[in-house]
């Protein structure tokens, strides 16, 4: 089985995430994509973040309609700050009997300038097949954005428009994905949900219903 992983807060998961996973399967021949909600991302401030249980359940609901997709809870189960290196080691062991080749690590191009700051980035670049996906360049609301902090803020893609990933040796064996760039962000969806705006067709139907029923992202429910 060719396995790739897509991590993030998934706060909430939306159709852009699913479209990206579909493109990885179609273009690169991966059989299975695991969506991995972070317990606590090491590189972002946490604002408007609903519980880990809610985020994991939304991922499960989103994946339910496609047998290629699955929700993986290892980072939430582990607790604390979520490091991709630990996750890859865990999944290599978990799927050792069926894993074919390297695990694919899907990364948005907004993360590339700061990748060298990740725990054991060089090890990840050797151990995984890095899959570099295009992401929309968005300007997020200061009130709702989960912004990079510390050293990650200095390496933020928006502040490094001249960054050349092709010249970075960490990405010498990476695959560039020519995926569709959908102008969606979880930040915008949270804002719309909190303000009573429309977002019904920006997330899977089951996720929309879950957000509405549990009144997620409304005042006092973050």
Residue 71 buriedness (CB in 10 A; 0-12 / 13-18 / 19+): buried
Structure tokens at 168: 């970075």
Is residue 53 within 8 A of residue 11, CB to CB? The reply is: no
- Torsional sign, CA 196, 200, 206, 207: negative
Question: What percentage of the chain reaches a pLDDT higher than 70?
Answer: 84
Structure tokens at 116: 């060298």
Give the tens place of pLDDT for each residue, 15-25: 999 999 999 99
Structure tokens at 102: 């390297």
Give the tens place of pLDDT for each residue, 24-33: 999 999 999 9
Structure tokens at 206: 């089951």
Mean pLDDT confidence for 96-121: 96
Quote the pLDDT of residue 164: 87
Within its chain, how far is the Cα of 84 from the centroid?
11
Lowest mean pLDDT, pick from 5-14, 15-24, 42-51, 188-197: 42-51
Quote the pLDDT of residue 24: 98
Within its chain, how far is the Cα of 127 from the centroid?
19
């Amino acid at each position: 089985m060719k396995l790739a992983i897509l991590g993030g807060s998934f706060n909430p998961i939306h159709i852009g995430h699913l479209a990206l996973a579909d493109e990885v399967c179609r273009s690169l021949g991966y059989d299975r994509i695991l969506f991995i909600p972070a317990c606590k991302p090491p590189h972002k401030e946490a604002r408007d973040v609903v519980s880990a249980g809610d985020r994991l359940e939304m991922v499960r609901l989103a994946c339910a309609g496609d047998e290629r997709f699955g929700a993986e809870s290892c980072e939430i189960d582990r607790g604390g700050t979520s490091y991709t290196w630990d996750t890859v080691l865990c999944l290599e062991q978990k799927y050792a009997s069926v894993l074919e080749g390297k695990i694919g690590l899907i990364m948005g191009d907004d993360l590339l300038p700061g990748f060298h700051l990740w725990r054991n980035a060089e090890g990840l670049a050797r151990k995984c097949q890095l899959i570099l996906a295009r992401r929309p360049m968005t300007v997020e609301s200061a009130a709702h954005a989960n912004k990079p902090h510390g050293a990650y803020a200095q390496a933020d893609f928006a502040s490094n428009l001249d960054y050349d990933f092709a010249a970075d040796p960490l990405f010498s064996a990476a695959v560039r994905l020519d995926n569709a760039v959908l102008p969606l962000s979880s930040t915008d969806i949270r804002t719309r949900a909190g303000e009573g705006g429309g977002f019904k067709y920006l997330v899977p139907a089951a996720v929309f219903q879950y957000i509405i029923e549990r009144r997620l992202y409304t005042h006092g429910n973050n």
